[in-house]
Amino acid sequence: QPVLTQSSSASASLGSSVKLTCTLSSEHSSYIIAWHQQQPGRAPRYLMNLEGSGDYNKRSGVPDRFSGSSSGADRYLTISNLQSEDEADYYCETWDSNTHVFGTGTKVTVL
């Protein structure tokens, strides 16, 4: 079963950028992941899926400020021009043999 590791928190100033990391367990380093955003008090919302090649597909309506990239077992979500509404928890998700796993989530604070 894959394991996804995320740092617990990140912060950046309004208008700056922040890069979140989701690390796959080594034997699952090629897996596709998905990024989800959960704003305070709301349900999660799917943002994008991201391949090991760095190719990503965003959900319709997700601002251009959100982008994905990859390096080895690491999957990144970069938020540029950070806005107040980006303050949220961000979770990565992957799957194997029809079972799923989520990372522990990263709380993003906009300063």
Partner 1 sequence: EVQLVESGGGLVQPGGSLRLSCAASGFTFSNYWLDWVRQAPGKGLEWVANIKQDGVEEYYVDSVKGRFTISRDNAKNSLYLQMNNLRAEDTGVYYCARSSAEYSSSSEFSDYWGQGTLVTVSS
Stretch in the footprint of partner 1 (CB under 8 A) among 12-20, 61-69, 76-84, 103-111: 103-111
Does 34 bind partner 1 (CB under 8 A)? Our answer is yes
Does 70 bind partner 1 (CB under 8 A)? Our answer is no
CA neighbor of 66 nearest in space, from 79, 55, 57, 54: 79
Instruction: Write the burial class of residue 44 (CB in 10 Å: 0-12 exposed, 13-18 middle, 19+ buried).
Output: middle
Q: How far apart are CA 1 and CA 51, in angstroms?
A: 18
Of 25 and 38, the one with the shorter C-beta distance to partner 1 is 38
By CB under 8 A, name the binding residues for partner 1.
Answer: 32-34, 36, 38, 43-46, 49, 59, 89, 91, 93-95, 97-105
